[in-house]
Amino acid sequence: MTEKQREEIFKNIEHQLKYELTIIQPKDIDEAVNAKSYNLNWLEADKAADLLNKIDTKLDNDVSEVIVDCPSNNTNAYKNYLKQKVDNEEMKLTVEHKADLNHLIVGAASIIAKVTREKEIEKIKKKIKIDFGSGYPSDPKTKEFLKKYYSQYPLIFRKSWEPYKSIVSSKSQTKLFS
């Protein structure tokens, strides 16, 4: 789906759906990735649980089931972890890998998340006055920006991101011969 298509769909759904977002900062991702008994999936589950704990299924008659998109194939482990974090033991949780492909509402949430990410990237570009592309590691513009500005804008980069670690490592190595 193109950025323009996502924007159009976003405009159609943002006023029709009640939703809440959580934006996770690079430092929080780094902490999760670098922890010994924690990881990015558990961070995502914790943030999902925070959102789910705001839903009261007894008061909200529209909510009979919550569908969660699992970031891995190990849906049982993810669901068990998530259940431990959700306060409402009666909440019916459906946890699926790639749930956005099977459930329209999860697809809508995925579009909301993607459009929000793109807007956040645009905010950063405006703030620092540099167009660094999409922010994805496959983007040549992003790669070039990372090489040039990794030390000037440390707060916008995930230090656990392989492209970042690679750049920092290459910059800190000394050459034996010129």
pLDDT at 171 over 90: no
Is the sign of the CA dihedral 116, 119, 124, 127 positive or negative? Answer: negative
| Model pLDDT, residue 57 | 59
Residue 139, domain extent: 130-173
Asked whether residue 73 falls in the same domain as residue 113, the answer is: yes
In a domain, 33, yes or no: yes
Residue 141 CA to its chain's centroid (Å): 21
- The CA-atom distances, in angstroms, between 32 and each of 26, 28, 39, 155 are 10, 6, 5, 16
The pLDDT confidence band at residue 89, using thresholds 50, 70 and 90, is: confident
Mean pLDDT in residue range 13-25: 90
Asked whether residue 75 falls in the same domain as residue 141, the answer is: no
Asked whether residue 10 falls in the same domain as residue 71, the answer is: yes
| Model pLDDT, residue 58 | 57
Where is the domain boundary, 91, 107, 128? Answer: 128
Half-sphere CA count of 24, side-chain side, radius 13 A? 19
Asked whether residue 33 falls in the same domain as residue 98, the answer is: yes
| Model pLDDT, residue 59 | 55
Burial class (CB in 10 A: 0-12, 13-18, 19+), 34: exposed
Asked whether residue 149 falls in the same domain as residue 120, the answer is: no
Asked whether residue 142 falls in the same domain as residue 113, the answer is: no
What pLDDT, in 10s, does the model give residues 105-122? 999 999 999 999 999 999
What pLDDT, in 10s, does the model give residues 32-87? 999 988 999 999 999 999 999 998 655 566 666 899 999 999 999 999 999 999 99
Asked whether residue 49 falls in the same domain as residue 93, the answer is: yes
List the beta strands (DSSP E) in 91-164.
Answer: 93-97
For the entire predicted model, the pTM comes to: 0.84
Q: Is 127 helix (H, G, I), strand (E, B) or coil?
A: helix
| Model pLDDT, residue 71 | 95
